[in-house]
Amino acid sequence: MATEPATEPGAVADVGVGSADDPGIVAGQFRFFDAHVVRTHRLGPTLTRITFGGGQLAGFASGGRDQSFSLFLPRPGQPAPLLPDRTGDGWYRRWRLVPPEQQAVLRSYTVRAQRAEPAELDVDFALHGTGPDDPAGAAGPASRWAAQASPGDRVVLLGPAVADNRSVGFRPPPGTDWVLLAADETALPALGGILDWLPAGTKAKAWIEVPHAQDVQDLASAAEVEITWLVRGAEGPSGDGALADAVRAAELPPGVPYAWIAGESGAVKALRRHLVRERGFDRGNIEFSGYWRRGTSEEQLRAEA
């Protein structure tokens, strides 16, 4: 998951190794960037936008769409994420050798927007387990960090050094007549990036599941997009099949579809199964990615992979 999105629900991709030509380049396409929080902005009850800045981000070559990257966060009390030596081959092995209580937290996130001069990246974090009524320990370290982030907080990103990189998953093939998009709140930033990128004239239908009505956002696109928002309610668990049920009940356009589905693994699996088995979608025309799995932390997913 560190350098590219998972392609199997709940699976994690390999973390790349360095290139012999440039020790700063990882897996041929990625590079480490030091950055800091510039500002934070609460988008709604669930999502908070964190804007990262820093001179190195001028070289961050986002490919747009669902461009993901690896985010390294400090442990509580640390001034910066601890990554012993991040040059070339072997950084991942060296990072793993750091004692867990000191090791930088590694999580996958998506670029929601990028700007130059000053070089800035917006990243939208879905907060979970950080509310006043949530039990202690319910939040993962990234959610906890995002809920408390403030200007100046230091992070490290492992992101694209080239715009055409493997961490962009949304790639409709030539001959696509229309696009189906489905996401929960963790993949809403990626879906927003895809809508920003879709050219005028493209037909798209999108389903987006969020916990609260106030999480619904205005999403711009040059494409002809019909968006259905599904609000599951504060108590409802995501991944209970609401996305698949909503698509099952919908009338889909004729022609060759390309589908992009991301969110909780179980929900992604259920919708993909529906599209393949009941709608006859070509498996090769479905890009699907488990962004998280209920009851399983990203470390546990990485260990399984």
Please report how close the Cβ of residue 275 comes to ligand FAD at its closest, in angstroms: 20
Specify the residue, 88 or 129, whose C-beta has the smaller distance to ligand FAD.
129
User: Residues 3-32 vs ligand FAD: string with x where CB under 6 A?
Assistant: --xx--------------------------
- Rounded to 5°, the CA angle 143-48-207 comes to 95
Which of 195, 269, 292, 302 is close enough to bind ligand FAD by CB under 6 A? Answer: 292
Place of tokens 């998280």: 292
Which one, of 58, 39, 57, lies nearest residue 49 by Cα?
39
| Strand, helix or coil for residue 33 | strand
Q: How many Å apart are CA 28 and CA 4, to the nearest integer?
A: 12
Which one, of 8, 21, 22, 121, lies nearest residue 67 by Cα?
121
CA dist 265 to 261, 269, 284, 300, Å? Answer: 10, 6, 19, 14
Specify the residue, 109 or 178, whose C-beta has the smaller distance to ligand FAD.
109
Q: How many Å apart are CA 75 and CA 292, to the nearest integer?
A: 21
Contact 190, 183 (CB under 8 A): yes
Phi first, then psi: what are they for 259, rounded to 5°?
Answer: -115, 140
Specify the residue, 9 or 178, whose C-beta has the smaller distance to ligand FAD.
9
Number of residues located near ligand FAD, criterion CB under 6 A: 27
Specify the residue, 16 or 178, whose C-beta has the smaller distance to ligand FAD.
16
Q: Is 228 in the site for ligand FAD (CB under 6 A)?
A: no
Specify the residue, 176 or 296, whose C-beta has the smaller distance to ligand FAD.
296
Q: Is 297 in the site for ligand FAD (CB under 6 A)?
A: yes
Place of tokens 């895809």: 194
Q: How many CA atoms lie within 13 A of 289 on its CB side?
A: 28
Please report how close the Cβ of residue 59 comes to ligand FAD at its closest, in angstroms: 21
Q: Is 232 in the site for ligand FAD (CB under 6 A)?
A: no
Structure tokens that stand for 63 in this block: 């490919």
Site for ligand FAD in 59-88 (CB under 6 A): 68
Dihedral Cα 181, 184, 186, 192, nearest 10 deg: 40
Which of 189, 192, 193, 257 is close enough to bind ligand FAD by CB under 6 A? Answer: 189
Please report how close the Cβ of residue 182 comes to ligand FAD at its closest, in angstroms: 15
Specify the residue, 28 or 141, whose C-beta has the smaller distance to ligand FAD.
141
Structure tokens that stand for 269 in this block: 């699996």
Tell me the one-letter amino acid at 150: S
Contact 261, 286 (CB under 8 A): yes
Q: Is 269 in the site for ligand FAD (CB under 6 A)?
A: no
Specify the residue, 198 or 298, whose C-beta has the smaller distance to ligand FAD.
298
Site for ligand FAD in 99-158 (CB under 6 A): 107-110, 124-126, 128, 140-143
Phi-psi region for residue 220, left (φ > 0), alpha (ψ -120 to 50) or beta? beta
Please report how close the Cβ of residue 110 comes to ligand FAD at its closest, in angstroms: 3
Q: Is 272 in the site for ligand FAD (CB under 6 A)?
A: no
Please report how close the Cβ of residue 196 comes to ligand FAD at its closest, in angstroms: 14
Return residues touching ligand FAD (CB under 6 A). Answer: 1, 5-6, 68, 107-110, 124-126, 128, 140-143, 186, 189, 289, 291-298
